[in-house]
Amino acid sequence: MASITVRVVPRSDRTKVELRPGGVIVRVRSAPERGRATQEAARALADAVGVAPSRVRLRAGARSRTKTFDVEDMTPEELERRIRNG
């Protein structure tokens, strides 16, 4: 299992995953209400790395814009490669 820490930016004009010098940013359209932005961020991350959304789980940061997700069935190296090439 691999873990990744991301910065979630809610209320964006489109959903996307970006690799920036400061880390990974996940932009989502949802507002940060009732976990909607977190759920959308998990789906966007799953799509970006090519796994089923059920394989991405929130580990830390439920109420924070900085979140850590676990991605099942993937090594940390593979996760990093997919994010970079995504």
Question: Is residue 4 exposed (0-12), middle (13-18) or buried (19+ Cβ within 10 Å)?
Answer: buried
Of all residues in the chain, what percent carry a pLDDT higher than 90? 93
Q: What's the predicted TM-score (pTM) here?
A: 0.93
Query: Residue 66 pLDDT > 90, yes or no?
Result: yes
Query: Residue 31 pLDDT > 90, yes or no?
Result: yes
Domains, the chain, in order of start with CATH, read: 2-85 (3.30.1200.10)
**Selection from 73, 74, 20 nearest residue 7 by Cα:** 20
46's tokens: 């799953």
7's tokens: 């910065």
Task: Extract long-range pairs of 29-38: CB within 8 Å, 24+ residues apart.
Answer: 32/8, 32/65, 35/62, 37/8, 37/10, 38/8, 38/62, 38/67
